């Protein structure tokens, strides 16, 4: 009887997975303030700006 080889499928696991996630809700004033700070920072993504 032949042995079946199990092929590896799917993504490789990340070395440092993000296990802590946060949700933030802004009112209009806070949102405008956040966008102003984000714009001044020159960062390409909001998530990078928050980190």
The structural domains of the chain, with segments of one domain joined by +, span 24-51
Pair 50, 42: CB distance under 8 Å: no
What's the whole-number mean pLDDT along residues 1-6? 70
**Mean pLDDT for the chain?**
90
d(CA 26, CA 36): 14
Condensed to tens digits (0 to 9), the pLDDT of residues 24-43 reads: 999 999 999 999 999 999 99
């Amino acid at each position: 009887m032949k042995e079946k080889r199990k092929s590896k499928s799917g993504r490789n696991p990340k070395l440092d997975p993000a296990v802590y996630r946060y949700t933030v809700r802004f009112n209009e004033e806070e949102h405008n303030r956040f966008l102003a700070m984000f714009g001044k920072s020159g960062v390409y993504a909001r998530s990078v700006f928050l980190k």
